Amino acid sequence: MRVAYLDCFSGISGDMFLGALLDGGVPFELFEKTVADLKVGARLERSRVERAGIAAVKLDVFVNGEKDMPREEFWAQRSGQSSVASSQLPVAGDQSTARELRDESHCRAGQTGQWPPATDHSLGRSLSEILKAISGAPISERAQQIANEIFLALATAEARVHNTGMDDIHFHEVGAADAIVDVVCAAVGAEAVGVEQFISSPLNVGSGTVACAHGVMPVPAPVTLELLKGIPIYSGDIAKELVTPTGAAIVKVLAASFGPRPLMTAETIGYGAGTRDFPGHANVLRVSIGETQTAHANAGSPAAEEDIAILEANLDDLNPQLIGYIVEQALAEGALDVFTTPVQMKKNRPGTVLTILAPPGLEDRLLALLFRESSTLGVRTRHEKRYTLPRHHEVVATAWGEVRMKVANLNGTVSQYAPEYEDCRRIAAEHHVALKHVMQEAIRLYLERRNG
C-alpha cells in the first residue's frame, strides 16, 4: 500500500504541510494555479531555507500584496508598537501567525473578480460562504470534499469552544483568504501525492502560553485542543505553540491513524519549514512517501497493517461510574478504542474486563491511568496486529445542515458507509428532529448521489 507518513515532531501548520508536499514532489505550479483559480487576491512564494541545519521548503502566502506575520509582530502592531522584543511580549507563538488572530483583516473589501466581502465585516465569513466558494473552485470533487471536511472540523471545534451553533461561526481566526489558500491547497496537494493513506506520528504541541483572540491561554490554544481530541499529543521542550488550528484540522481529516512509523520503504522525503529556527531543534514537518512492507500487504490485502497495544484489567470492586470516567480519560489520552466485557469472577462475583486498544507509544501513559484511577492491582498487556480499511469522509447536505459520511473502501470499491454520529446528534438536538430520521436522511442522500 502506498502511504504518506507525517513526522510531527515539531508540530504542524498549514504552510508547513504545503512546504513538505512541495519538497516531496508536488509541483509548485499546481498550487499556483489553484490559488489563481480561487481568485482571493493571493499569491504564493516559496524559498529554500534551513532549520537547525535541515534544508526545507518555506511557503509564504501574500494576500493583496501583504505577507502574513508572526503572532508577536501582529500583537506589537496592534498595541501600537512598531518593534517589541520577544521577551517583552505576553507570549511568543511560533507556527501560528496573525491570520489566526485578526478579525477585521479577515473581512477586507473584495476587489473585482475576487473574494466577496462578508455582509458584516465585524464577524468575518460564515461557514456557508466558505463552503460555497470551495464548491465553485475548479478542483476535483475529492479535493473539494477534503477541503470541506477541514473547514467543517474547524467550525465544529469553534462552535464547541464558543458554545454556539455552527451557523453562527464566522471564522474570525481561520476564515481569511490566506487560510482558504492553505486549506484548499492542502486538499489539492494531498490528492496529488497519490497515496492510499496518510499516517501521522503523535503531535508535539509545544508548551507555554499563547495569545489568541480571547486572551492568553496555555498551549494548545482552545480550538486547537478541541480539534486534537482523540489524537495522541505531547508537550516537548520547545516553549512555543507548535500546532495551529489549521494544521490540527488538516491532520485530523487526512490521517487514517496515529502512531509510530509503519514498516515501509520511503521513496520520497519532503521537509516543510515552520516560521522560526530553533537552536538544536529542526522546526520542520517531514513527510515520507512510499510503500508499506508487510506480509499481508504484499499478499494483496486491501487493509493497512499496524501494531497496537492492548491493556486489560479485571474489575470487581469498582463503582461503575468510575469505569465510565476511566473510559473517557483513556480516549482523551489517545486510545484507539475502549470497551468493557461482563465476566463472572472468583467467589461468584460479577465483574468487568476493561480493555484499551492504543498505539504502542501510549502504553505507559495508559498503564499509569489504569493504576491511578481504577482499583486493579494488575494489568495485562500484549501487542497485536490490526488491519484497517482505507476510509474518508464525504459530505451530504440535508435540509437541517451538513452531515459527514464515513466511507470505507475495499479494493477500490465502497464497502461500508455510515453517517457521523456527532453530526447527526447535533442536528437532531438543534432542530428537534428524531436522530434516526437524520441518520436515515443522510444515508438516503449519500446513496442517491452515489447511484445517480
Tens-place pLDDT, residues 51-60? 999 999 999 9
Which cell numbers in the block locate residue 127?
Answer: 461557514
CA proximity to 260, closest of 120, 142, 380, 358: 358
Does residue 389 contact residue 418 with C-beta atoms inside 8 Å? no
Strands 203-204 and 233-234: parallel
pLDDT of residue 254: 95
The full set of domains in the chain, from first to last, is 2-296 (no CATH), 304-388 (3.30.70.1380), 391-451 (no CATH)
Q: What are phi and psi of 24, to 5 degrees?
A: -85, 0
State the Cα–Cα distance between residues 57 and 54, nearest whole angstrom: 10
pLDDT of residue 227: 94
Cβ-based neighbour number of residue 142 at 10 Å: 14
Cβ-based neighbour number of residue 243 at 10 Å: 30
CA proximity to 262, closest of 199, 190, 334, 195: 199
pLDDT of residue 301: 52
- Contacts with 83 (C-beta within 8 Å, 6 or more apart), sequence order: 76
pLDDT of residue 83: 35
- Residue range 391-413, pLDDT digits in tens: 788 889 999 999 999 988 776 67
State the Cα–Cα distance between residues 304 and 294, nearest whole angstrom: 9
Q: Taken in order 158, 159, 161, 163, is the CA torsion positive or negative? A: positive
Q: What are phi and psi of 195, to 5 degrees?
A: -105, 160
- Which residue numbers in the chain have pLDDT < 50? 71-93, 98-123, 172-175, 295-300
- Contacts with 371 (C-beta within 8 Å, 6 or more apart), sequence order: 379
